[in-house]
Structure 1
Amino acid sequence: MAHIVNTEQEQAWNGYEGTHWARNQDRWDAINEGFDDVLLTAAAILPADAVLDIGCGAGATTRLAARRAAEGSATGVDLSRPMLERARVTAHAEGIGNVTFEHGDAQVHPLAGRGFDVVLSRFGVMFFADPAAAFANIGSGLRPGGRAAFVVAADGEGNDWIQALVGLRGLLPMGGFGATGGPGMFSLADPDRVREVLTAGGFTGIGIERVEAYGRWGRDAEDATGFLMGSGPGRHLLSQVDPETGERARRELAGILRGYERDGAVRLRSVAWLATADHP
């Protein structure tokens, strides 16, 4: 049985959140796939490399890495059993034989000495209970001279979907939703914090670049509203108000999202930091 110390996140990603992501893998990939090329280019995967994907979720980036490392391998690690099961099923269906998935907490998962050439992550390293310890453990899995490439969420102000939800502040109890700092999605939104935790984890040659991409959130405003309100953040906000207020919030959100309809889809911008580093 995997040893878990990040119990709060483990519970979340093995509950509704993980089930929702596993069930909607294709939709979430359509939202985030705009960051794939920049991440994989920065990772500079060679054909014989052994690649580690942290917070791999349903395995989209792990499968992409496995294809680039056609003579090597790709290993995905995640806390979420529902998402890992979806990852395994999809990899098998696509006939990708050089990929494996492991259930574990990257902060304590047995990675030391495994000699990975590359570690990467697409939005999977922002949720650690102890980021410095997690990155130290991740680094221990790299061979000397191994390299890292991570994409992490930047400021909420630059993310259209965050701003769309913040636009409902008159109806929903937004609190500090979308604020940078603290645990959660925006824990590494400050690039100085990224440098701090990577340095503490033993990484050197750290580079940080701001990147952005547009994701497809739905066919139209109504479809995107239903999906966004059914996601973890939307569901949490709706749970705090009565049904009538919730319906008003849905209608108002649909009105906001109509402004983003184009080319047969709702396309929202997300901003992120691309962090690269070496492990001596």
Structure 2
Amino acid sequence: MDARGRSMTGRTVLVTGGTSGIGRATAEGLATMGAHVAITGRDPARVERVASEIGSTSGARVDGFAADLSSQAEVRGLADEVLRRLPKLAVLVNNVGGYWNTRHITADGLERTFALNHLAPFLLTRLLLERLGQSGQARVVTVSSQAHAQGRIDFDDLQGERSYSGARAYNQSKLANVLFTYELARRLPPGEITTNAVHPGMVRTSFGAEDPGRAQRALVPLLRPFMRSTTAGAASSVRVASAPELGETTGQYFARGRPRRSAPASHDRAVAARLWQVSSALVGLADVLVKTSDRSRTASDRMWDR
């Protein structure tokens, strides 16, 4: 294998939701590049099995962590275990996510889509920032979706208590991913940690199969032949996590491995700041990460102003 193929040697990567679908393909891709990979999943036996399979295929070291990231206690437990077992952490890929057609409540009393898709990466990222910052040119990659373009942050009903729609909850959570990415980029000191969001495309996975909506049940079988493979879907995550030329690229949204203009709503800095504050309160963290300037702007802001 050439030097480029092992370009992640010596780098430790954590991929949430790494036991199947896009997450597993992301872990496999980075392990093949020489990274020390760690994956998370809900089922301890499955986590152990998949970690062993990826390690055997790639020859890389692969560790597994069992946690249900819809639970804040388990997110905190995962962070504690990662800090104990992984002395270095260069890349965090916030991949875990889900879709539920009907409203589900987590152990914390929160709507599950918002809790798993947004609050889990928000909390985990912040708990691991110090360790990431010690690695030099660390990266945070958060898997969003083009569905963010249909999203709206409903601060009056974030949990869907008054009116719930699976699609609306999902779109809101994916918009929250992009808003979080941009706000984190504004709040981090320059040059220490990059943070970017990615859209994997429409991929052949079992995503949403636990509680599908009527339209999903009808359309997915028809669309499946045209969907991308999990490897293709993971390509953007792998590239943004590893490409040397992206070492200083931050605050951007990627699709098919290239920066794209995200929806106008994702660039609303007032909404992003309020979402940060509300999310901090919901996970029990202070809402200030680092001092920021009112003039600070993400790379995405600057790029698309041109």
- TM-score, L = length of structure 1: 0.49
- Higher strand proportion: 1
- Higher helix proportion: 2
- TM-score, L = length of structure 2: 0.45
Higher relative CO (Cα under 8 Å, sequence separation at least 6) belongs to: 1
